[in-house]
Amino acid sequence: MALDMRPGCERCDRDLPADQPGALICSFECTFCAPCNHEFFKGTCPNCGGQLFARPTRTGAALDNFPASTKRVYKGA
């Protein structure tokens, strides 16, 4: 099963394309942008308390065969 690769930050709704770096995720795939992590979360997911890690990118055939999710999870600031 592949990562959802959610399309945006749950806090600020910034776009986070699957083929670009800059997204952080926890083990539940809660997804945040690097600026929100740096300013507010300091590496800890605000939803579950787990660690936030850099999300890997998905490009080329992998992205074609396993497209990123289009479902946005936005909880606001």
Q: Which residues of the chain have pLDDT under 70?
A: none
- The secondary structure of 27-62 as a DSSP string is TT--EEEHHHIIIIITTB-TTT-PBPEEPPP--HHH
Q: What is the pLDDT of residue 2?
A: 82
- pLDDT in the model for residue 76: 79
* Helix%, strand%, coil% for the chain, nearest 5: 20, 15, 65
At 21 the pLDDT is 97
Query: What is the predicted pLDDT for the residue at 1?
Result: 73
Question: Where along the chain do its domains lie?
Answer: 1-56
pLDDT of residue 39: 97
For domain 1-56, the CATH class is alpha beta
Question: CB of 2 within 8 A of CB of 66?
Answer: yes
